[in-house]
Chains A and B, each alone.
Chain A
Amino acid sequence: MTATAIHRARTAILQEEMERAGIDALLIYGNSWHADSLRYASDFGIQEGQALALMARDGTVTLLLDDAGEADRARAEGACETIHAPRLIETAKELLARAGNRRVAAAPWHLMPYGLTRDAENLRIADGTAILEKLLMGKRDFEVEAVRRAGRLADAGYEVFRAAVRPGAKDYELIAEIEAFFRAHRVPENFMIIGAGGKEVRGMAPPVGKTIKAGDLVTTELTPCVEGYYAQVCRTLVAGPPSEIQLKSFAVFQEALAAGLASVRAGVPGSDIARAENEVFRKYGLGQYVTSEYTRVRGHGIGLFPDQKPQLLEDIHIPVSENSTIIVHPNTYHPDAGYMVLGDTIVVRAQGHESIGRLSRDLLSVPF
């Protein structure tokens, strides 16, 4: 599907949801961190500044951008009427006032500027987060196809990353190579963090200037996007031949990923998937390493936001729906080897899942 067709399809879906909820208009906020709701409604991938989009029941969208360059870019894309609004709140209030006595659902509510929420009653805006959240989590076929395309780029990108791991390379130089690859392949955004070293490394973060040395574990998660839809891959490689300890430690992650994936089917609570992964660690006496002290989540939803609901944690019971896209990743610290990652984006099916990635799930290595 073309970008235009994707936008039209999402607009129709939003119109149905507005009709169902008895809403006259949707007010959507976005910035370069949380760009998902805005992208869904306006098809604009915001890069700088902040935006509000007002969608009427007839599907027309007015996009307010506080950055002049971004407003020019949106106008050139031509998906909706665009206003450069350096005084974003005042312009939004004027727009809402012109819209008259209507019921407006605003999302995501927690990010909606205080200048609007403190006047919510007068402006007749109310929390509409649930409307968008449901659409962002569940995916239509055209959305799954975009995630698949992003997944293929993630796989190709990982091979570039792997080839870039050379003796003496700095961590930020690896990032430079992969980002150049993605830009050359028309990928505008990529969520990526990295870890390099041994048992002293407790997680991944942006690069800090480390030099890759023999024996290091090099961990990364790559998350490129196509038409705004992200797919993620998490892999660990060793600079040089892996040690017995590294291989043995990594086997736990392979078993945990397999257990997590085996538990996936439509309707299963995310907590069940997390528990399946964590039970493997507990079986090997590594239970403490699946707590929040060592790891954040055991996977999460993915789509127009690279880290969306449902977060896979044993105490979050949101079910995964059929055709939703999630990543299962039992990433954590192993006391014998250090921080290791392994994960793949999948499509949830009625009785299982469809893997999107094709990369080997072995502990990878590069000659050093």
Chain B
Amino acid sequence: MRRGFYGWDAAELPLAALEARAARLQEALRAEGLDGALLYTNIARPAAVSWLTGFTPYWSEGLLFVPPHGAPDFATALSNRVAEWMRSVTPAGSIVCTPQPAVFFGRRLAADGAKRLGVLELDMLPGGQAAALLSAAPGLELVDATALFRSARAPRDAAETALFAHAAGIASGAFEALTPALTASPREAMAALEQFARVHRAEEVFVTIASDLSRDDCFQRVDRAADPGASFALRASLAYKSTWVRHTRCFSKDADTAALFARLDSAFRECLRLSGPAQSLRSQIAAGLARVSGARLTHCSVEACLGSYPLEAAALEGGEPAAGSVVCAKATIGALRWIGQLPVILHARDAG
């Protein structure tokens, strides 16, 4: 569940920005001859609905219906008692509390004579929602609208860029605030990262640890983490106002290794700062890290928010990240592993 700060601030996420996003999607719907788009949301897949409304459910699930014209409507199984709270954190569209959101929209679509409904990530729509929708609107054709949505969502706007930068700042600040005493005790450091992020109004934080970089680079939650080795990595995945970033840093009890990690961090950051088109990202990072004691790049990947997932794998070569991206690089120097992961704006393709 989400249990961090929720709140809508018109200065951060202007209603006009949300309206412009909906308008882009609606233009695409009309061009495809669709009678609307249906977007599912829960805490695991909240991103598409929050991009259009600013809202992420802290619990339960919901559906957003975007008609070809007019304002979107959000229906959720959250009870009426929390409707007032939802309205306070959700600027766009109307909110309907109903035990069966799909039936609510199905009946409306049937009454309106709708024929074709676009559904984001149709195959992943919960079967119960699909069955309820089709029972209320027999004959309605469900069409996968994933590509259509992704295309409409791709150009980032100033509000999204600013929220991404804010989230990145919280993550960066959390790591900067770690003292040597805290990093001497990785579990305390994990708690401190989470506390810093939540005090700075993160909506959610997941902190994980790769406990022993001499053994592997797998990140574990606090309950299953092995005893830390001499060198370990901490990863913070966090959201601010529904915008997710990740930040990873390596630590070592050995001063020489810690200094090496610092040089690799610096080289990685510099590669990202200088990065141009995504096509050359891997080679830029490989060359930049190689200049530090011959580090060999073993992994390079990009995540971005494209559909309903907060972050998902994005194309590394030839792709055009839709919004802020999270770049992850892994390298080895002899038997030593290093991991770097930072949020970054890779590409300028602004919608205004």
Contact = CB atoms under 8 A, between A and B. Distances in A.
A312 to B, nearest CB: 15
A207 interface: yes
Interface stretch (A12-20, A173-181, A264-272, A317-325): A173-181
A184 B191 contact: yes
A45 B222 CA distance: 12
Interface residues of B, number: 64
B179 to A, nearest CB: 15
A33 B1 contact: yes
Contacts of B44: 31-33, 48-50
A304 to B, nearest CB: 14
Contact of A176 (B123, B195, B237, B313): B195
A60 interface: no
Contacts of A50: 44-45, 124
A202 interface: yes
Interface secondary structure of B, over-half rule? mixed
Interface in A113-155: 113-118
Given A76-B216, A86-B313, A205 B82 contact: yes
Interface stretch (A187-195, A248-256, A276-284, A344-352): A187-195
B130 A114 contact: yes
B3 A294 contact: no
Given A49-B309, A116-B127, A292 B79 contact: yes
A115 B59 CA distance: 24
Interface stretch (A66-74, A231-239, A354-362): A66-74
Contacts of B5: 172, 206-209
A181 B192 CA distance: 9
A343 interface: no
Interface stretch (B14-22, B147-155, B160-168, B198-206): B198-206
A187 B61 contact: no
A110 B99 CA distance: 14
A7 B84 CA distance: 42
Contacts, number: 178
Given A76-B220, A193-B58, A207-B4, A183 B81 contact: no
A110 B194 contact: no
B127 A191 contact: no
Contact of B190 (A86, A181, A183, A206): A183
Interface in A12-66: 31-33, 45, 47-50
A183 B130 contact: no
A180 B194 contact: yes
B223 A186 contact: yes
A193 B310 CA distance: 22
A49 B190 CA distance: 22
Contacts of A157: none
B220 to A, nearest CB: 6
B6 A188 contact: no
Contacts of B205: 179
A76 B131 CA distance: 37
A212 to B, nearest CB: 15
Contacts of A48: 44, 206, 237, 310
Interface in A281-310: 292-296
B309 to A, nearest CB: 7
Nearest to A108: B128
Contacts of A111: 126-128
A51 to B, nearest CB: 10
A186 B222 contact: yes
B181 to A, nearest CB: 14
B58 A206 contact: yes
Contacts of A294: 81
A207 B198 CA distance: 11
Interface string B199-219: 101010111100000001011
B6 A206 contact: yes
Contacts of B3: 175, 179, 190-193, 206-207
Interface in B282-318: 301, 309-310, 312-313
A175 B6 contact: no
Contacts of A115: 122-124
B241 interface: no
A205 B60 CA distance: 13
B81 A209 contact: no
A209 B201 CA distance: 9
Given A48-B206, A172-B199, A181-B191, A72 B89 contact: no
B191 A173 contact: no
B110 interface: no
Contact of B127 (A32, A69, A109, A187): A109
Contacts of B191: 180-181, 183-184
Contact of A113 (B124, B220, B313): B124
Nearest to B131: A117
B136 to A, nearest CB: 15
A67 B61 CA distance: 20
Nearest to B2: A206
B249 interface: no
B125 interface: yes
A244 interface: no
Given A48-B310, A110-B128, 13 more contacts: A68-B301, A76-B216, A76-B218, A89-B123, A111-B126, A114-B126, A183-B191, A183-B222, A203-B81, A205-B85, A208-B6, A292-B80, A294-B81
5 contacts: A50-B45, A76-B218, A115-B122, A176-B197, A208-B85
Interface of B: 1-7, 42-45, 58-61, 79-82, 84-85, 88-89, 122-131, 142, 187-188, 190-192, 194-195, 197-199, 201, 203, 205-208, 216, 218-224, 237, 301, 309-310, 312-313
**Can you list the 6 inter-chain pairs with the closest CB atoms, starting with the nearest?**
A110-B128, A115-B123, A117-B127, A176-B198, A180-B195, A31-B44
